[in-house]
Structure formats: structure tokens, C-alpha cells
Structure 1
Amino acid sequence: MRSKGNKISIIGAGFVGSTTAFALMTSGLTSEIVIVDINKDKAEGEAMDLAHGVSFVRPIEISAGEYADTKDSDIVIITAGVGQKPGQTRLDCISRNLAIFKTIIPEVVKFSPNSILLVVSNPVDILTYITYKLSGFPSNRVIGSGTVLDTSRFKYLLGKHFEIDARNIHTYIMGEHGDSEIATWSLTSIAGMNIDEYCHICTEKCNGEIKFDIYEEVKDSAYTIIKKKGATYYAVALAIRRIVEAILSNEKSILTVSSLLKGEYGIEDIYMGVPTIIGRDGVKQILDVKLSEDENTKLFESSKVLKAVIEDSKI
């Protein structure tokens, strides 16, 4: 019998899916987690390993199952697909993952027609758009992890450079979760001061190259990690946990999830990471924040990159 509370299903028991299950298990946000994977033994092994630790956390049911076992999920997190290999961009993963999603989404929708779909697989913006089209769900209930992780990387590197708590830095990475993403320096603030004011008043660590160097490190972070250890999963699992927390707690928090743009920033019919108010029904509102002219141009160029991929994929 299902326990009272929130039910989350995770499609994909790879590095990201299993680490996400662990992050959610320890968060106390949900009372039930179901893991589904084409490799049933892998899903069962992950569920068993996690379940053996339930005496250390708040009451929770953890199991592996079929799509039917995901019935009536509040949130379905999709991490399944072919991962990025060393030397590949996220967009290189599209063709095989498109085929995989065509088998996953109809099954998910059949058993959880009222759920929120949270796409994490890469290329996340493209696959979130595909999920939106395949599911028939309203756009507010189909979101991607977007640039939530990229924004965290950005804050971490700024905090490290300026030797301050990353949580006191307010900024965003926007656009594609990938090579065309942009750093919103015009929105970056510390203690109510924009980044240039903070540099002038509080620190001498602001040479002309610092913005370029930090942005490049953010953009290349995944490539570096994949080269060194094969995959990224800890920080992305925490980013997913944060998005789930905002949804289930109806926080109305602002996160740069991948949302469907309908004219915001002059961009139509594409999913991108932009500041979005998130609550119990998913997307509450997309914020059309004021960017610099250069940032607006780069965001539009990022959208063109994604649109070109969609057109080439004949979605």
C-alpha cells in the first residue's frame, strides 16, 4: 500500500538517476521513490542498496519497478538516455536520446497523467521540448533542469574567487545548458552592489580577464569532470533535489529551469534556462528580466543554436 505523501518516480538508474534517488531519500521531501530502468537488475540493485538505509532517514518506501509502478506520481524525473562521452558536446547526444524518449514518455504519461515531468537527460533543453511535444502536457508541467547547475557552478567560482559565501552571490547562467549559455554579469550582485561596484569597493581581485576566465570555467566544467572521472552526478543530483523541493513545498522560488518561452526575450517556442518562478504546479511565471544588449544578443543566438538542432532532428 502506498504511504501518504509525495511520490516521485525516476526513469533511469544510471549515475545521475541513482544519485538523485539518494539525494531525495535523504532530503525528507518524499515518502515514496520508484526507480525504473531498462536494466531491471541495475534498478533493483540501486533500490535495494538505498532501502537498506531507511532506518537512518525519515520514513520512505523505495522500490524498483515497471512503468505501471510509477502510477500517480507527483513528479517523474527523467534521467535515462545516452550520456555525454569525453570529447562530445551535450548536443551530440540528441539522436539516440530522441529515440529513447519516444519509448519513455508515452508510458510515463499513461500512468501519471497529472504529474510534473522534470527532464534531466542531455541535451536537456532539446529533450524537454521533445517531452512537451510527446506528452501533450501543458508547458507549466514540463520543465528541464536547465541551467540550475550551471548557475550554482557560477556562484561557486565567484565565491571562491572573492572568498565569500556563494549563497550571498546573486546571479544566473541563462540559455542553453551547454556551449552557448551566457553569464548574466549585468544581473550579478553581492550585498546589493553590482559586480563592478563590489570590485571597486571591496576587493582588488578584478582584473580585466576575470569575467572571461570564470565564464569559461563554468562552461567547461562538465567536460573537465567527464574527462577526469567519466560523468557528472553529485552536483546535478543536488540541483534536481532543489527543483523538487521548490515544487513540492510550493516555494515560488526563482530557479533557472528550462522553460518554454512564448515571446519572452523575443524568443518563441523553445525551451531554455531562464529565471522562472516554480511552485506546486510547476512553472508559475517566466521572468523576462532586463539584460544588457550584449547578453540579449547572446541569449537570442543561444536560442538559434537550439532551434537549429530541433529542425535538423525533424522533431
Structure 2
Amino acid sequence: MPDSKRPNKAIKVVIVGAGSVGVTTAYALLLDGLASDIVLIDIDRNRALGEVMDLSHAAHLHKARVRVGDYEDCENAAAVIITAGVNQKPGQTRLDLVKTNYALFRDVVPRVAHHAPDTIIVVATNPVDVLTHAAYKLSGFPRERVIGSGTAMDTTRFRHELGKHFGVNPRNVHAVIVGEHGDSQLAVWSLATISGMRLRDYCTAAGIEYDEKALEACATRTKEAAYEIIRRKGKTNYGVASVLVSVLQPIVTDSDAIMTVSRVGSYAGVEDVALSMPCKLNRHGAYQDVPLLLSEEEREALRRSAQSIKDVITSLEEHLKPAEEKAEATEKPEQA
């Protein structure tokens, strides 16, 4: 194992949610060797224990401990990954889904923040951008220490599709998906390159046709990939688990890697919203140091994406307002 990836003996990573994504992430993390202590927290402790028993049969090969824990075990964690939540059902709106998962976050996030005030929270639960915003508000953490997996998965899928189209290794494709991890995501064509060349220039140099319709089909397949996988197997887990480990790597190794992850900020004139842009990741969290040089058309598409997420955040806040006002009224002492 390279020294840069060799785990510190003190590195602890906590995963909240022992469903398919959480458990696959624990397994991927175990194989990668980033952490020496992997803790699974789940409301179904017995199921979590069964998963840990199974994972432990691989752990002895990788010099790491995998165990079931509780929120107290978040103390001194380098990162806490939240994968817990329900999946969107057919016919269910994003707002209905976020109401359900927000209720879970309202319980989970303050407990994580209480026991691990210096940790970095990584949100994987969908809708990830809205819940990244919720985790930021509920934790009271600085925005750089609340990170959503965002379009890191979409960017990986996009590079895979472009690699297949051009017949090159996806590692040689530099292209990103930004905005929402969802239907309003944006493929940044203006900055996409292969071997340092813009796609049109690469096609000219390689003597191949620049097929705009075929490229748009790559973006469409990227956007619809999760739907297609879920339709066939009922869930996605391997890809997102590998991406979550990729997000953890620069945090644990303090390596200043740039990835498209979701973070609360102001985007294209839309304030206080979470969406994905390239961020520098290190042990302190996620930082947006360099803005993308988007075309006018892309900037407008980003604004629409940001507004789409903002609308759901606003709807959620309006839904929660009566309950919060009622709670505040109950807590106020009666006037003499």
C-alpha cells in the first residue's frame, strides 16, 4: 500500500445506516485500508451486528476493526458518513421523500454533532443536496465540514460514458457534472477534455467525427443511470460506495484532491443552497477556491438547477414552520 494511503492508527470512520449503501461503503473502506476503526450505527442493531460479523471475516486480512456502535462512538471520528434513509418510491415526489428523510436527519445529525463536534459529515442520503443543506443547518458546523456526495457519482458515470464513446480510459477524460444530483444536473461540455484537448479538437486530431447527438446521449445515460440500475436490481450500492471512499481519501490523507461534491453556498445568484461544484477536499473539509469558467448557457442552466433545489428547501421549511412555531409556543412560560 502506498504510504500516502496508509491509515493512521487513530483514523476512525463512522457510518450511520447499515443498509446496502452503508454496508457496501464499509466493505469498500475496509478493502481500501484508509481507516483502522470502522463503526456501523443503525436503528436495527441486530442487523448491523450481523453485517459486522460478516465484514469481520474480511477485516483480519486488512488490519482494521469493524464494529457496531452508537452515537457516542462518533467521538474523534475523522468523518461520519450518513447513508440512512428511505428510497424514493414510484409516484412519490421529492418533497414527500425529503420530509421523511429530514425527520430522520433531525434525530441523527444533532447527535453526531454533539458527540463529534470536530468531525466532517458526509451525506449520501437522497435527495442529497437538500439533505446536505439540512445537515448543515442541524449540525451548526461550518459549511466546509458538511459535504454531500453530490455529483461525484454522476461525474464518474459521465467519464465512463465518454470513455466508452471515444474508446479511451475514463481516467484520461476530464469532464464534470455539476448542479443537482438529479434531473437538473449539468454536463459542462465547454470544459471537457481528453489528453488536454477540448473534445472537438480531440476529434479533429484523432480523425474521428464530432457527433453532438451521441455526446448528448452520453449525458442522458449519465442522468438516467441510477433509474436504469434501480429498475433492474432495485438499488444502487457499489458505485456510490466507491465514490464515498474516494471522497474520504483526501479527507483522511489531507491530499487537496478536487472533486464535484455538494456544499452549501451561493450559486448563479441563488443564495443559501447546496449543490455540486468542483471543491478542494482535505482534512479540514471542502473548499470552493476556483469557480468554473462556464459559458452563458451553462451559467443559466446552473441557475435553474440551483433554483430547483432551492424550491424544495423552501417547501420543506414551509412544511416545518407550523410544527416549529407550535413547539416554541409550548416551550414559552406563561406570562404572569
Cα distance in 2 for residues equivalent to 1:198 and 1:267:
35
Equivalent residue letter for 2:143: S
Other-structure match for 1:234? 238
What runs of 5+ residues in structure 1 fail to find an aligned partner? none
- Mapping for residues 1-315 of structure 1, pairs under 5 Å: 4-57=9-62, 59-86=63-90, 93-262=97-266, 264-314=267-317
Equivalent residue letter for 1:22: Y
* Number of positions where the alignment pairs a residue of Structure 1 with one of Structure 2: 311
Distance 1:218 1:92, change over 3 A: farther
After superposing the two structures, state which structure 1 stretch, 16-25 or 65-74, moved more: 65-74
Other-structure match for 2:328? none
State the 1:84 CA deviation: 2.9
Structure 1, residues 41-74: CA drift from partner, whole Å, max 9, x if none? 11111111111112221x1111012212222211
- Note if contact 1:23-1:238 (Cα within 8 Å) is conserved in structure 2: yes
Distance 1:144 1:216, change over 3 A: same
1:257 counterpart SS class: strand
- Note if contact 1:90-1:178 (Cα within 8 Å) is conserved in structure 2: no
Cα distance in 2 for residues equivalent to 1:109 and 1:303:
27
Cα distance in 2 for residues equivalent to 1:256 and 1:265:
16
Equivalent residue letter for 1:183: A
- Note if contact 1:84-1:231 (Cα within 8 Å) is conserved in structure 2: no
Distance 1:62 1:90, change over 3 A: farther
User: With structure 2 as the length reference, what TM-score do the two structures score?
Assistant: 0.89
- Note if contact 2:11-2:34 (Cα within 8 Å) is conserved in structure 1: yes
| CA RMSD after TM alignment | 1.5
State percent identity of aligned pairs. Answer: 43
- Note if contact 2:162-2:215 (Cα within 8 Å) is conserved in structure 1: no
User: With structure 1 as the length reference, what TM-score do the two structures score?
Assistant: 0.95
- Note if contact 1:129-1:271 (Cα within 8 Å) is conserved in structure 2: yes
Equivalent residue letter for 1:155: R
After superposing the two structures, state which structure 1 stretch, 197-206 or 3-12, moved more: 197-206
Cα distance in 1 for residues equivalent to 2:129 and 2:223:
16
1:84 counterpart SS class: coil
Distance 1:203 1:155, change over 3 A: farther
- Note if contact 1:89-1:178 (Cα within 8 Å) is conserved in structure 2: no
Cα distance in 1 for residues equivalent to 2:124 and 2:194:
30
Largest Rg, 1 or 2: 2
Cα distance in 1 for residues equivalent to 2:190 and 2:95:
28
1:56 counterpart SS class: coil
Distance 1:259 1:230, change over 3 A: same
What runs of 5+ residues in structure 2 fail to find an aligned partner? 1-7, 321-336
